[in-house]
Structure 1
């Protein structure tokens, strides 16, 4: 009985961190089971990544090229020559497609943009049993440092776990002009379970389910949660003694089912000190103050009940996750009838994972009704020097 309860609790942590075993010893890029993602140029990195993904992805449809493109790291060049660049790092279980709207927005604002594919991602969920936190930090540090060699102004952006990695780099390596953090995972909703993840890996490997999303994993290997935990613990330790003094934009959902938005807000208030900082808060709490802008997510006209962990990233026009897109994240609760109704094309409302309201079926909100305001906030913060 106790064992089943213990496994259920850890399963909840793994699921939340993906909606978010033992690790391969040593650097994963040196392993014969993986590929060398530490390359001397970003062009070479793209080449070796495409070759490895093409051979190793477990395709879930006949649209192999589309799946490959949605998981590939990429670069975007602005219309005119520029001296500023930004590196964007996705979260646990996700892919560079997380920035399919953010990256073009920054490109239009004059940035050269690069995105990364974190080790263990883009191919198949079982590959998340290989990397450690160190593998993720090494790749983020490496390509950030390469950008610093070629551009006078370098910004870092991160979603969820990626927000941890780029903030750690900003603190440890410095020489960064600013940060753009989307639902950064400084602390999960269940920090007490974070510490149990390594022990739980002795008993089971995580959660496995059918994969139907081209752009991210549905399954949740527990080793990914362990690597996330290491990043969060390191960042919290660094923030105890360090203030982040570069311009920073943080974007949070009050109803986030994965991270603790109040904890992130607390760090923002006390450890992020630049006068041009902004925090965008999607929710109902009255946080409208100075550098915090709150926007209600109870929008009946759009059938929106709450924001979600991922919804800030995507414009309503996004072809895969947008308002009129055909893909729905129907597994938004443990209610099998609601999931079936959603998959059959029934009219749904939109929310964070796990939100329920009598008389309504909810799917995951995967787009941002305030995306133009987010673009403006990115422009305002990145102009602050």
Structure 2
């Protein structure tokens, strides 16, 4: 299947400091592309992969699960670690969940995390019924484009494949158990008005991780996809300042590849 316009992966070869960006459930790299380009323009090496089953049609996602999505970001992280002296991992929604597991598994190899509205469990979709419902109903209404900014749209699916949702629910439970293994510096930015992931998820994550260098920032003007919303520039600036504090050498120019 051809990739939806705008949903292509993005990479930029920059300096010795790298950033892996992880997009959300049923979303695509398009939701993080402005963030990736902001970092690339400041000389960072950037990887923004397209997760398996995403960016085409929801039926393609139906045959994938968390093991596929995690394997993709793990592979991208390892590639960055081979060429960069320091690597940060940023994530939106499920991308935040993926980032947290990478942090738990890779330890000090990851210099820091920036999480935007990270997910800790599956909400709605009659989550408790997913183990059975997924065999009876293939999909539910989509969760894309929860954005306050008028005219801003997310490239994502208009349906949620329930097999994939069930897999994500299992993944959230797995990651919740692993949260105490997360020790890296963390910046968490979350929206009080989020119609996909409630603030309780951020509170749970912050209560479970072992990190001591933690900053929590409220995104008062944005909904769930805050990286395409009113607070986008604030997210980009805060994340770049975070990198600069932990990796002062960040910022040599390079070349860009998209698609």
TM norm structure 1: 0.57
CA distance in 2, matches of 1:208, 1:377: 33
Alignment equivalent of 2:191, drawn from 246, 253, 258: 253
Contact 1:89–1:115, Cα closer than 8 Å, also in 2: yes
Gaps of 5+ in 1: 1-55, 59-66, 284-296, 298-306, 315-366
Contact 1:278–1:381, Cα closer than 8 Å, also in 2: no
1:281 lines up with 2:214 in the alignment: no
Give the Å deviation of 1:185.
0.7
CA distance in 1, matches of 2:206, 2:32: 23
Contact 1:251–1:279, Cα closer than 8 Å, also in 2: yes
Give the Å deviation of 1:272.
4.9
Q: 1:148 to 1:57 in 2, by over 3 A?
A: same
Alignment equivalent of 1:168, drawn from 79, 87, 101: 101
Contact 2:10–2:33, Cα closer than 8 Å, also in 1: no
1:76 lines up with 2:18 in the alignment: no
Cα shift readout 1:326-381 (whole Å, capped 9, x = no counterpart)? xxxxxxxxxxxxxxxxxxxxxxxxxxxxxxxxxxxxxxxxx22x333323311222
Alignment equivalent of 1:268, drawn from 206, 215, 218: 206
CA distance in 2, matches of 1:205, 1:190: 16
1:376 lines up with 2:237 in the alignment: yes
> Higher relative contact order by CA 8 Å / sep ≥ 6: 1 or 2?
2
TM norm structure 2: 0.83
Alignment equivalent of 1:221, drawn from 161, 165, 171: 161
Q: 1:274 to 1:380 in 2, by over 3 A?
A: farther
Determine the structure 1 residue equivalent to 2:53. 120
Q: 1:214 to 1:245 in 2, by over 3 A?
A: closer
Cα shift readout 1:253-280 (whole Å, capped 9, x = no counterpart)? 11211112123124225525233x3222
Larger % of strand: which?
Answer: 2
1:148 lines up with 2:81 in the alignment: yes
Cα shift readout 1:135-171 (whole Å, capped 9, x = no counterpart)? 1111111111111111111111111111111210110
CA distance in 1, matches of 2:198, 2:210: 17
Rg (Cα) greater in structure: 1
Contact 2:22–2:95, Cα closer than 8 Å, also in 1: yes
